[in-house]
Amino acid sequence: MVMLEQKNPPALFGGDLDGQYNFLQYHFHWGKDSSEGSEHTIDGKKFPGEIHLVHWKASYGSVAEAINFDDGIAVLGIMLELSKTDNAYLNPIFDNLDKITKADAEVKIPPFALNRLLPLNVDDFFRYEGSLTTPTCNEIVIWTVFKDTVKISYKQLAKFRTLMDEKGNLLVETFRPVQPLNGREVAMGRKSPYWSYVPPFGPSNWADSFPICGSDVRQSPVALVTADAVGEFPRVNLGTKFYDTPPENLILFNNGHTAQARITYAAGKEASIKGGDLDGKYQLLQFHFHWGANDGLGSEHTIDGKRFPLEIHLVHWKTSYGSVSESLNFGDGLAVLGIMAEISQKDNPKLQPIIDALANIHEPDEETVVDSFIFRNLLPDNIDSFFRYEGSLTTPTCNEIVIWTVLRNTIPISSKQLGRVPQAEG
């Protein structure tokens, strides 16, 4: 079991939950071998393990009060599926299991974001009213069990089986058998509306499902024209911090629309930007790419009428708002750096770790580790010449919450490297 030492706990809301639920703890269930271990089954299938993220209903004021109500607890259930490679996001846990082999032992582990425990797709899930799966088995739980899984290696899973109970016996089966529904209904979570870059689900139709995409206030991208720009930026140069420091883990994945990065930082080494007339500090959340079918198109923004073959977006959230979820409620909650790439006769060696990783993510939901990469490699040498405007996300839901900084200087990429980009939507 893992508990947090945090003043403001992470929270869960939406997805037809009645109110906000504050995070309490997460824990694992596993079996003696890979044929079993999960507590729930999906379409008759058992999984080798299951993660439970336990939350309590905030409106009840405390955990002690919440457990008196049949909707007092909300648990997210995530199935573990075997992979040949380690799940790097779980390393802070597995690197420390040997320190808690005996019952009641505890150890402090490096912090990491809880969404690292979730599948990429959190819109497909089962929902039902149930109970705790350990004594006292109180029937107070709103269960959300995701259909998509999280990967775990054979080696990592085997480490769980080295733990012992209070009598010195190995913990090799830590799951409860499935229980009868007794007339209860299991509901399916609502999927987000499908969108694409091509008709009939392309940008011209996005507003049908995502009304903000049809706004005439501050949608992005835009055509950037030097002659029409006003003001003199920046009064203070744009600064980066830890852009030259490799992150603890960098995962590139195909989300079905683009190639996007997930970042895990070492404590205190979070990459961020500040200055350049931004109002405050913004921490790097993720980066992704936009490209076209040939070298003549691909960028979302245009500069003085020119379109580029590739555009990189480095997405940051405003740290003064305390969390990513909170920053999404404000018009300046996100700051995105837009970087154009131009075709070069030679390969760009700085991009090669990303290019090599792309070969492993041709299919949606595939992911791969990017080795030895720094975010500075995505930037041109000069980052002080740029366009600035208030805009939106460029994909649904098109929220108008972005401060855009589109750099005028470009980075090189060869046609050969660009050809390695997955031939999916971009």
Which pLDDT tens digit goes with each residue over 175-227?
999 999 999 999 988 667 889 998 889 999 999 989 999 999 999 999 999 99
What confidence tier does 298 reach under pLDDT thresholds 50, 70, 90? very high
Name the pairing type of β-strands 49-57 and 21-30.
Answer: antiparallel
What is the C-alpha to C-alpha distance for residues 121 and 234, in angstroms, rounded to an integer? 39
Instruction: Quote the number of domains for the chain.
Output: 2
What is the C-alpha to C-alpha distance for residues 213 and 197, in angstroms, rounded to an integer? 13
Same structural domain for residues 182 and 237? no
- Residue 195 located in a structural domain: no
CB 23 within 8 A of CB 4: yes
- Provide the pLDDT for residue 236: 73
Amino acid code (one letter) for 102: K
Token pair, residue 390, equals 């208030």
* Percent of the chain predicted with pLDDT > 90: 77
- Provide the pLDDT for residue 327: 92
Domain boundary (160, 188, 216) is at 188
What confidence tier does 424 reach under pLDDT thresholds 50, 70, 90? very low
Reported as a single tens digit per residue, the pLDDT across 90-140 is 999 999 999 999 999 999 998 888 988 999 888 889 999 999 999 999 999
- Residue 112 located in a structural domain: yes
* Closest alpha carbon to 42 in 126, 99, 104: 126
Q: Is the pLDDT of residue 47 over 70?
A: yes
What is the C-alpha to C-alpha distance for residues 395 and 402, in angstroms, rounded to an integer? 12
Same structural domain for residues 10 and 105? yes
Taking residues 388-409, report their average pLDDT: 97
CATH number for position 302:
3.10.200.10
Taking residues 291-316, report their average pLDDT: 94
Domain boundary (188, 216, 233) is at 188
- Residue 193 located in a structural domain: no
Catalytic residues: 257
Distance of CA 348 to the CA centre of its chain: 27
Reported as a single tens digit per residue, the pLDDT across 61-94 is 999 999 999 999 999 999 999 998 899 889 999 9
Same structural domain for residues 120 and 231? no
Same structural domain for residues 219 and 165? no
- Residue 48 located in a structural domain: yes
For residue 182, give its domain range. 2-188
Q: Is the pLDDT of residue 423 over 60?
A: no
- Provide the pLDDT for residue 191: 66
Q: Global pTM?
A: 0.69
For residue 326, the 8-state DSSP code is H
Average of per-residue pLDDT values in the chain: 92
Reported as a single tens digit per residue, the pLDDT across 155-164 is 999 999 999 9
Q: Is the pLDDT of residue 25 over 60?
A: yes
Domain boundary (139, 161, 188) is at 188
How crowded is the C-beta side of 189, counted as CA atoms within 13 Å? 21
Same structural domain for residues 115 and 166? yes
| Residue owning tokens 């393990």 | 49
Reduce the DSSP state of residue 346 to 3 states and report it: coil
- Residue 423 located in a structural domain: no
Same structural domain for residues 207 and 109? no
- Residue 85 located in a structural domain: yes
Same structural domain for residues 281 and 166? no
Same structural domain for residues 212 and 308? yes
Same structural domain for residues 182 and 277? no
What confidence tier does 422 reach under pLDDT thresholds 50, 70, 90? low
What is the C-alpha to C-alpha distance for residues 426 and 260, in angstroms, rounded to an integer? 11
What confidence tier does 266 reach under pLDDT thresholds 50, 70, 90? confident
- Residue 59 located in a structural domain: yes
Token pair, residue 361, equals 């993510």
- Provide the pLDDT for residue 69: 97
* Closest alpha carbon to 130 in 194, 186, 188: 186
Same structural domain for residues 300 and 173? no
Same structural domain for residues 133 and 269? no
- Residue 196 located in a structural domain: no
Token pair, residue 322, equals 């305390």
Taking residues 392-411, report their average pLDDT: 97
Same structural domain for residues 216 and 336? yes
